[in-house]
Amino acid sequence: MFDANGRLTDLICGNAAANAVWSPRATVQAMLDVEAALARASALHGVIPASAVDAIVAACNADNLDADALMTGAAAGGNLAIPLVKQLTAVVKARDAEAAKYVHWGATSQDIIDTGVVLQLRAALDLIDADLRSLSGALAQQAQAHKATPMIGRTWLQQALPITLGLKFAQWLDAVTRHRERLGELKARALVLQFGGAAGTLASLRDKGSLVAQALADDLKLTLPALPWHTQRDRIAEAASFLGMLTGTLGKIARDVSLMMQTELGEVAEPAAAGKGGSSTMPHKRNPVGCAAVLTAATRAPNLVATIFAGMVQEHERALGGWQAEWEALPDLARLTAGALSNINAIVPSMEINAERLAANLRITNGLILGEAVMLALGDAIGRLDAHKLVEGASKASVANGTPLFDALAADETVARHLSQDQLKSLLDPANYVGQAQAFVDAAIAHSKKQER
């Protein structure tokens, strides 16, 4: 039987855990958790009778509500909290008519919706935090393992100079480390209570407003902000920005892996698994389906971030459209980011490395990629410009004759006067011209380890 609330593609660009955090039931339950906490906090400070709490809290279970009626009521009322409070009050009234008088006391719809979203966001960020920690470990391990493995570096999609495979992993790791730092800062600012009443003054609670707000924040284990933030959406926008940037970094990793996985390069491959990456018509195909899912997320994420940013321009004390635009954009963005992260986490630790193809691709140009190394060595003796002209001429001869650059250089009298054949061979060895690659790997790993302290 099909789930009317789900999409058939939910597990292509998402994952079960993140989808569950933002499911319709979880959304309703998060709002009900706020209502239950509000009853407890209000009773704690004598705003509502303590005798009303048990009935309200017992009723705050999503299974007690009619989802179809919520959808219909939300369309009529403009938000989900209005029909939710109506249904919740009816459930409480059936058990305790007196307690029903105190449902949703002192709050406004946006308090319940925003704080519910913050609870969901916290759960989503916790999942992302754990997956980022796993990814950092896997990237550090691969960077260390391949710290000295030479491969070709590419600029403008063309062969440039040698690097190491470990450096590529380290570059990804360093970006992930920065995202982990951002996430810690984001949590401190974004995981806060929203509680201001109708116009953000908590006038409905008279002199108990600040006390109830603090108790409510403590109950939900959220930070109490200095004041309500109904139309100040920078916290949500910062969360969206973080999710968008992280998805972009994951997309960068997926782009590199998928390019290196092309048949003509064959340097790496996604881990093999039964039924994964096949073609419906070509039996030989092994498609980078994990990378495709990540790149799909990276394509969609910027527009979702833009939607949330556009919604920041809001009217007075309550928004007309901008706030409402977040309701679908933020969950979709969070699901996409979590799914992309899950896919990269499945690829990196067990990525297949083809050392032979890495080495073979370094030899494709017959040594031309090491021309700079020879030029600089000769430049010490004959000057950089003359050395450049000499190596450029030798490179053209190598291409024209289809012979190694070594042969063209070794036959040149000027080269022979200043460089022995052993020196020339050493200069044309890719492993000897990777600069600070290994030191950069060490630096990235060390930086990452600081996050574990």
352-353/268-269 β-pairing? antiparallel
Residue 111 C-beta-side C-alpha neighbours within 13 Å: 24
Closest CA to 288 of 264, 263, 306: 263
> Around Cβ 352, how many Cβ atoms within 10 Å?
13
Which of 93-127 are b and which e, b meaning 16 or more Cβ less than 10 Å from the residue's Cβ?
A: beebeebbebbbbbbbbbbbbbbbbbbbbbbbbeb
* Active-site entry in 133, 154, 182, 318: 318
Question: Which ranges in 146-205 belong to alpha helices (H)?
Answer: 165-190
* Active-site entry in 279, 363, 384, 420: 279
Count of positions (residues) in the chain: 453
**Encoded amino acid at 241, one letter:** S
Q: Is the dihedral of CA 211, 212, 215, 216 positive or negative?
A: negative
Residues in Cβ contact with 428 at an 8 Å cutoff, skipping those fewer than 6 apart: 367, 370, 373, 374, 405, 406
Q: Where are the beta strands (DSSP E) in 197-315?
A: 268-269
Name residue 152's beta-bridge partners. 162
Is 318 catalytic? The answer is: yes
Task: Return the H-helix or E-strand segment holding 35.
Answer: helix 24-44
Q: Are residues 175 and 252 in contact, defined by beta-carbon separation less than 8 angstroms?
A: yes
Is 279 catalytic? The answer is: yes
Alpha-carbon 421 to chain mean position: 50
| Dihedral pair phi/psi, residue 268, rounded to 5° | -140, 170
150-155/268-269 β-pairing? unpaired
Q: Which residues are catalytic?
A: 279, 318
